[in-house]
Amino acid sequence: MDEFWRGLEEFNNRQFYNCHDTLEAIWIESQPPTKLFYQGLIQIAVGLYHLENRNWQGAVTLLRSGIDRLEYFCPRYLGVELTPFLDQSDKLLDRLYDLGPEMIDQVDLGNLPTLSYQRFVEGTP
């Protein structure tokens, strides 16, 4: 579980590529439905990585996929509060669609979605 918490910290520290690598290592070894949860987090992290690199298509495609995948796990899963996170992600995605690829520079990169979570010890409820 330590890698999982590290991945969440990397996400909130806007180290989206590192987050992707960290969570992908867990994802490879996981089983459904948790595998889908990790995949959704990875997709949103990579979508935000694309956004930082001003890749509109990559950002909207991966944000949409990640949001769709994580909705199944609402309101929370593995200590992660998903409802506010998905609300933030949906608002960002709507903003990207409104702006379109030509105006992606207008997205405020200082106001990206963050994860709220309560760290727990494996084996406890």
Q: What is 2-117's CATH superfamily?
A: TTHA0068-like (1.10.3450.10)
Token match 């760290």: residue?
119
Could you read off the pLDDT of 67-124 as tens digits, one per residue? 999 999 999 999 999 999 999 999 999 999 999 999 999 999 999 999 999 987 655 4
3-class secondary-structure state, position 25: helix
Paired sense of beta strands 80-81 and 76-77, if any: antiparallel
Question: Which long-range CB contacts under 8 A does 24-33 form with residues at least 24 apart?
Answer: 33/72, 33/73
Give domain limits for the chain.
Answer: 2-117
Could you read off the pLDDT of 14-73 as tens digits, one per residue? 999 999 999 999 999 999 999 999 999 999 999 999 999 999 999 999 999 999 999 999
pTM score: 0.93
Q: Are 4 and 78 in contact (CB under 8 A)?
A: yes
